[in-house]
Amino acid sequence: MDADVLAAVGSWPVDSAAVAVVGPAGVLASTGPLDTPFALASVTKPLAALAILVAVEEGAIELTHPVDEALVPGATLRHLLAHASGLAPEQPMRSFPPAVRRVYSNVGIELAGGLVEKATGMAFGDYFTDALVRPLGLTGTSLPGSPARDGVSTVADLARVVQELQAPSGLLHPDTLADLRTVQYPGLRGVLPGFGGQPDNSWGLGFEIRDHKSPHWTGSANSPETYGHFGQSGTMFWIDPAAGVALVALADRDFGPWAAHAWPALSDAVLAAAR
């Protein structure tokens, strides 16, 4: 792929940005400091979900494991990862019964990490390192705090992660990979942070699914099967199975109108070049 496809990144209103286009065989084009660590904000969530799914495959916990019958009766680990538990966004309190509304919940992902801590007897940050960082050979990725928002990583490392999701080498079973990018509890209304209410706010297991949301932070040319995440710190990645390509972009400016304009435009340029 011609590196010129990323030329627009140089005009972004940020001090520092790094971007990579990634295919199943590796990086196709890149720009910026690929090995510089950036705060991920909510891009932490899908990485944490991958570690949690490793725990599921290892038999430490099941997706049917109950959360807290006193707090959210009927909710399971699967509900937490799909933002369908009914938990409020930032408080350990119930907003809805499970699988009624898609409520994007930081506390839900934190509770999911806590379930894995109890099941494994390890601090979640340590388990994250053992389950994800070491197996994939990530050198600039860490989780010093919340599994919902406190991750740190580099474009080089995230390129390795999205390559693994496109061409699996054994981190997770193919059935698990298919499950994480499949809409969980279809048809749930909800708010996509930064982009407003969506009549069908599709989500997989720790990954947002593009589906037919509008407006959206990916491009108009992204397929409905596109999955990924973005973070309020100016970070995002997506994988488009229909196009056979992924995009990773990290910047040092918080999400705002600049990103809502720049990310879809770059996404469409990358997809046009990939064809």
Instruction: Give strand ranges (E) for the chain.
Output: 17-23, 26-31, 38-39, 152-153, 190-192, 196-198, 208-209, 227-231, 235-240, 245-251
Domain count, the chain: 1
pLDDT at 3: 77
pLDDT at 1: 82
Specify the amino acid at residue 231: G
Closest CA relative to residue 50, chosen from 156, 137, 155, 162: 162
Closest CA relative to residue 45, chosen from 193, 169, 185, 166: 193
Q: Which helix (H) or strand (E) holds 206?
A: none
DSSP string, 82-146: TT-S-B-SSSSSBSS-TTSSB---HHHHHHHHHHHHHHHTS-HHHHHIIIIIHHHT-SS-B--S-
Contacts of 183 (CB under 8 A, 6+ apart): 202, 203, 204, 209, 211
pLDDT at 275: 87
Contacts of 49 (CB under 8 A, 6+ apart): 81, 109, 112, 180, 205, 206, 207
**Structural domain of residue 177, as residue ranges?**
3-274
Specify the amino acid at residue 244: G
pLDDT at 51: 98
Read off the DSSP letter of residue 7.
G
What is the rounded distance in angstroms from the CA atom of residue 148 to the CA atom of residue 40? 10
pLDDT at 183: 98
What is the rounded distance in angstroms from the CA atom of residue 139 to the CA atom of residue 153? 9
What is the rounded distance in angstroms from the CA atom of residue 51 to the CA atom of residue 59? 13
Buried b (16+ CB within 10 A) or exposed e, 34-52: beebbbbbbbbbbbbbbbb
Contacts of 126 (CB under 8 A, 6+ apart): none
Which residues of the chain fall short of a pLDDT of 70? none
What is the rounded distance in angstroms from the CA atom of residue 50 to the CA atom of residue 170? 12
What is the rounded distance in angstroms from the CA atom of residue 39 to the CA atom of residue 134? 20
pLDDT at 250: 98
Q: Tell me the pLDDT tens digit for each residue of 77-118.
A: 999 999 999 999 999 999 999 999 999 999 999 999 999 999
Specify the pTM: 0.98
For residue 230 the two structure tokens come to: 């973005």
pLDDT at 2: 83
What CATH number did the domain enclosing 48 receive? 3.40.710.10
- Burial bucket for residue 204 (CB in 10 Å: 0-12, 13-18, 19+): buried
Half-sphere exposure of residue 42, counting CA atoms within 13 Å on the CB side? 23
